Structure 1
Amino acid sequence: MKNHIFPYFILSILCCSALGLSAQQLKILTYNIHHANPPSEHASVTNLDTIASIIKKTDADLVGLQEIDVNLNRSQNTDQAKKLAELTGMHYFFSKGINLDHGEYGTVILSKYPIVKSERFELPSPIESEKRSLGIIHITLNGKTIKFANTHLDLKKENRLAQTAFIIDKFKNDQELVILVGDLNARPEEQPIRNLEKVFTRSEIKNGFTIPEVNPDREIDFIMINKGNQFKFKNHHVLSETYASDHRPVYVEINAQ
């Protein structure tokens, strides 16, 4: 008699492996780090080691950081984007907002996965203000492209509305996963966030306040994914970190369903 069990056993293993590959999970972190200057310390003090330690403890796959100094006197002329990548062992992409004191200031994306493509877009500012940018990286998982976007929106409402309109137009036709994170300088009930929610689903928890670092009372730091894909949020929480920055970090897991 031929053994018909063995081929079915092999097929079962192969099927389970395929299912494992499709069951994706991504750990996401967003954090406005205040150029690594702890609010309780003197303005000349920076502590990138603490920021890196927070990131490593979360084991995040993709990280969006805002308020990054590159070669500025106030942060000891350190390229904070490059240094944080070194300290965490991650790939990185810096997106400049402005030139400042012979250096640059903006946002950075850290990724455990190789960056296939990176893009920087200057966001519109109808009212004169500090320039803001949208940084985007492309990574590949299981043969599919995932876009991870990081930004820090303006303090002025008219500019935030124009900037969110730009972001919506950029991603409205994407079919594969887009993750948007950042300090959006708006509360969930305000128009910029409501506009983004036409295209994105916002991760949320009750009283998910992110600023100030001690006794936070506002939520302005967000993680979102574009609508119409199979991914869902899990384990959303704001980290109880009160030393490293004037914001608290936001962590979310995204799972394929």
Structure 2
Amino acid sequence: MNKIMIAMLCSSVISTGAFAQSNANSNENSRLVSSALNGIANKTFTADDAPELTIASFNIAAGKVSSAATVGEAIKAMNADIVALQEVDKLTGRSGKVDQLKEIEKITGMKGIFCRAIDFDGGEYGLGILSKYPIEMEKIVQLPSGQREQRIGCIGNVAVPDFAAPITVINTHLDTKEDPQIRMEQIRELNDSTMEMRGIKILLGDLNDVYSTPNMVEVTKYWNPVTPLNKDHRTWPSANPEIGVDYIFTSNAQRWDIDELKVPEGMEVWQGYNWAEVSDHLPIFTKLKLREQ
């Protein structure tokens, strides 16, 4: 083999090695970039090491069925890590100028954020998120509402122990009218506003819609329902429930095991409370284990 051929062969080996190293570096960089973009690295857990979370969604009807104090005591008995609240009054005339979220925080010992949807009766009316753990406001998303009551998405980040990153909690209460078009626009805006938020995400709230509609198909493009599609989970009206409109969803980016799922049945006493005497909606409660983040 002449010197020129040997030189060419050595050059080829060096180039190949450099390319392989460059490719390895590129792959590693891609993994790092992907991890950074997602906020957390992809990881699977066994049943033994999976972090756990208990969450609930509860429309408290502005305390009109009972009171903020009764709602607070009922939520304390529920013993959830995170609770999304809809129809929360802050210093309104109809609620006796009570800051309902603050009242519930005091009773439960939980931390909370309030998201104003509208001014109402000398105060404010909107959504709240309660947490046993530190919580920070991320943002309020104004949803398309036309000439109807302004609807919002209330988004907070909760630092839960044993989770690799804060959990993004999205709480909402969609339009009530039979015409589904406004709700479809609101769902699309929520999806648009949260699609690029990375990490562990949970969507909760009173969606004022049922599983069989195109609106709920739109939701499940990006979210997995904790309540199975074929499960009876009627939540309204609480004394004799007719339809299920209250939901918990997890992001398609994660996989969870459902250890427990509870919606009290009408006048059933659960955790020491007849929930129909607390609000006109029944709460939805679940215990989850994270199997893939």
Q: State whether structure 2 residue 144 is matched by structure 1 residue 121.
A: no
**Cα distance between partner residues in 2 of 1:225 and 1:50:** 29
Structure 1 stretches of 4+ moved >4 Å: 18-22
Q: Does 1:29 align with 2:56?
A: yes
The answer on 1:254 being equivalent to 2:288 is yes
Q: Distance in 2 between matches of 1:97 and 1:32?
A: 15
From the superposition, tell whether residues 21 and 98 of structure 1 become closer, same or farther in structure 2 (CA, over 3 Å).
farther
Give the alignment of 1:138-177 within 5 angstroms: 138-141=157-160, 142-156=163-177, 157-177=180-200
Partner residue in 1 for 2:253: 228
Measure, in 2, the Cα distance between the counterparts of 1:81 and 1:180. Answer: 20
Q: Aligned pair 1:181/2:204, yes or no?
A: yes
Partners of 2:221 and 2:46 in 1: how far apart?
A: 31
Q: Percent identity?
A: 31
What residue number does 1:82 align with? 102
Q: CA RMSD in A?
A: 1.9
Tell me what 2:122 maps to: 102
- Distance in 2, Cα, partners of 1:171 & 1:234: 26
* CA shift for structure 1 position 170: 2.1
Match of 2:73 among 21, 46, 53: 53
Query: Which residue of 57, 63, 66 maps to 2:83?
Result: 63
Separation in 1, partners of 2:245, 2:183: 12
Conserved? CA contact 2:113–2:137, under 8 Å: no
| Deviation at residue 58 of structure 1 after TM alignment | 1.6
The 8 Å contact of residues 158 and 167 in structure 2, kept in 1 or not, is answered as: yes
Kept after mapping to 2: 8 A contact 1:25/1:253: yes
Q: Confirm or deny: 8 A CA contact 1:135 1:149 kept in the other structure.
A: yes
The C-alpha deviation readout for 1:149-185, integer Å capped at 9, x for no partner, is: 1110012322111110011112224442111110000
Instruction: Give the TM-score taking structure 1 as reference length.
Output: 0.85
Deviation at 1:234, TM superposition (A): 2.9
Please tell me whether the aligned partners of residues 22 and 256 of structure 1 are also in contact (alpha carbons under 8 angstroms): no
Report the Cα offset of residue 19 of structure 1: 8.1
- Do 1:93 and 1:118's aligned partners in 2 also have CA atoms closer than 8 Å? no
Per-residue CA distance 1:189-212 (angstroms, 9 max, x = gap): 112211010100011152110011
Q: Is 1:199–2:222 an aligned residue pair?
A: yes
CA distance in 2, matches of 1:140, 1:155: 32
Equivalent position SS for 1:187? coil
State the AA in 1 paired with 2:165. K
Gapped runs of 5+ residues in structure 2?
Answer: 1-44, 269-274
Q: Distance in 2 between matches of 1:233 and 1:124?
A: 33
Structure 1 residues 234 and 167, CA, compared in 2 at 3 Å: closer, same or farther? farther
